[in-house]
């Protein structure tokens, strides 16, 4: 059968500065942030009134009224109202997943172009009634007469039912937070505090240098008085980072994860425009890089595997499909959920035992060149609005490849639920 698969090009992306929760964007919400980034993408690439094949946006923490955030946001973005929208969520991998969704439709010839992105806020979280009060209200609604409704409403009522329920931060299967799980990983892989602090420091230094060089001028659009990410601390030092107390394992004295080497609660949004060659050429738009492949995986964290280790599984599968080694990349964009998580991932790929017994490889994948790793900083310095991180990374990597003129980049994102989303971008 003739191969009619279309190449999928990344034309470019934008994001708003990421910031700490309960600061600049505390009253904006996912809808406002999504409209901002989609509108900025429309402005940048002249898409006013243009019908795209699909807009896939996502949010991890959202209100029930935002059941199709993508569709509602695109209707206020300047795109043609005939553009469909789909809303997704896979924790931290959401907008890389959306990139894959759009890319697969383009590759299959179902659409010519689309937008992928995501938004998240931990400032405007859904607060719901307690389970007991919800059941009571539903029972009142089912009651037939006013007297029955009144009796149902007051029978056995306790003021404790009025206590609201906030979104949980723990894994439902273990009751442990992501940070608690990562502490276990750090101990298993013998990742020390100083290693983690050093990686965090480098992330801040790289990001500060990238802003000073003007790299983000066309990637970051000012919003709500912010021009740079609110987490950036260009003046931080190892000494300052060393003063921070453990954030998760506080009792044993052995905790190594702190507020300085872990991502903080963040607000922000990002989006990227994808298209086939013909659509881009017709509109006079240049393609920065091509999405070559992607892979999603999961680990059994409930029975002992590291919660954030799934990318270690996804990457070698993807490499094997294309006859590539871990060293065959010019850039590595590894999401820094925690410094320890990144270091565990790198150490696992260097481990002959792990690569043989867990990954089924004849030899370790080996190490990567530190000079090619997160060259303009990553989530520790930028922030991590869960659903926005993937699109941020895709846009950053595509621009890096365009600037270089050719090359290949690897994306690796760990997610809650013990999953990983990875991808390869190339510029021939």
What is the set of active-site residues? 92, 384, 414
* Lookup: tokens for 17: 């500065």
How far is the CA of 372 from the CAs of 268, 327, 330, 366, in angstroms? 26, 10, 6, 15
Query: What is the C-alpha to C-alpha distance for residues 261 and 197, in angstroms, rounded to an integer?
Result: 6
CB 107 within 8 A of CB 405: no
Spatial neighbors of 53 by CB under 8 A, at least 6 apart, are 83, 84, 102, 105, 106, 110, 111, 112, 113, 114
3-state secondary structure of 305: coil
The H or E element spanning position 117 is strand 113-120
- Cα(333)–Cα(257) distance, integer angstroms: 21
For the chain, the residue count is: 428
CA distance 66 to 59: 9
Q: How far is CA 422 from CA 79, 234, 367, 412, in A?
A: 29, 29, 18, 5
Nearest-5° Cα angle at 71, 70 to 73: 65
Q: How far apart are CA 203 and CA 197, in angstroms?
A: 10
Q: Tell how far CA 226 is from the center of its chain.
A: 21
DSSP SS3 for 268: strand
Task: Sort residue 323 into left (φ over 0), alpha (ψ -120 to 50) or beta.
Answer: left
What letters, b where the CB count within 10 A reaches 16 and e where it falls short, cover 116-131? bbbbbbbbbeeeeeee
Contacting residues for 336 by C-beta, under 8 A, at least 6 apart: 199, 200, 203, 263, 342, 374, 378, 379, 380, 384
């Amino acid at each position: 059968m003739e191969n009619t698969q279309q190449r999928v090009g990344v034309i470019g992306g934008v994001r708003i500065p990421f910031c700490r929760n309960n600061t600049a964007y505390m009253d904006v919400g996912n809808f406002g942030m999504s409209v901002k980034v989609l509108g900025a993408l429309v402005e940048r690439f002249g898409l006013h009134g243009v019908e795209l094949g699909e807009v896939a946006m996502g949010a991890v923490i959202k209100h029930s009224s935002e059941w199709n955030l993508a569709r509602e946001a695109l209707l206020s973005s300047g795109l043609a109202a005939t553009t469909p929208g789909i809303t997704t969520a896979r924790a931290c991998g959401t907008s890389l997943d959306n990139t894959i969704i759009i890319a697969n439709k383009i590759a299959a010839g179902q659409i010519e172009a689309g937008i992928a992105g995501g938004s998240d806020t931990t400032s405007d979280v859904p607060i719901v009634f307690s389970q007991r009060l919800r059941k009571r209200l539903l029972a009142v609604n089912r009651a037939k007469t006013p007297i029955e409704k009144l009796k149902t409403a007051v029978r056995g009522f306790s003021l404790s039912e009025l206590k609201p329920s906030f979104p949980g931060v723990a894994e439902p299967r273990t009751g442990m937070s992501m940070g608690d799980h990562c502490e276990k990983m750090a101990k298993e892989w013998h990742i020390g505090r100083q290693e983690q602090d050093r990686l965090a420091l480098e992330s801040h230094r790289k990001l500060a240098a990238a802003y000073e060089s003007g790299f983000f001028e066309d990637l970051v659009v000012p919003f709500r008085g912010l021009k740079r990410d609110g987490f950036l601390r260009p003046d931080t030092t190892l000494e300052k980072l060393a003063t921070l107390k453990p954030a998760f394992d506080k009792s044993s004295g052995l905790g190594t994860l702190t507020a300085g080497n872990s991502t903080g609660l963040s607000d922000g949004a990002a989006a990227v425009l994808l298209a086939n060659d013909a659509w881009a050429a017709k509109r006079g738009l240049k393609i920065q890089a091509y999405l070559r492949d992607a892979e999603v995986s999961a680990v059994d964290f409930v029975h002992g595997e590291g919660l954030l280790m799934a990318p270690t599984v996804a990457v070698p599968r993807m490499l094997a499909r294309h006859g590539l080694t871990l060293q065959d990349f010019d850039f590595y964009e590894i999401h820094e959920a925690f410094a320890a998580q990144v270091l565990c991932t790198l150490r696992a790929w260097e481990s002959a035992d792990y690569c043989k017994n867990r990954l089924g490889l004849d030899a370790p994948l080996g190490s990567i060149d530190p000079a090619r790793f997160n060259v303009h900083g990553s989530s520790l310095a930028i922030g991590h609005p869960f659903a926005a991180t993937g699109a941020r990374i895709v846009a950053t990597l595509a621009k890096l490849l365009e600037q270089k003129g050719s090359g290949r980049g690897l994306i690796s994102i760990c997610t809650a639920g013990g999953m990983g989303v990875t991808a390869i971008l190339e510029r021939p």
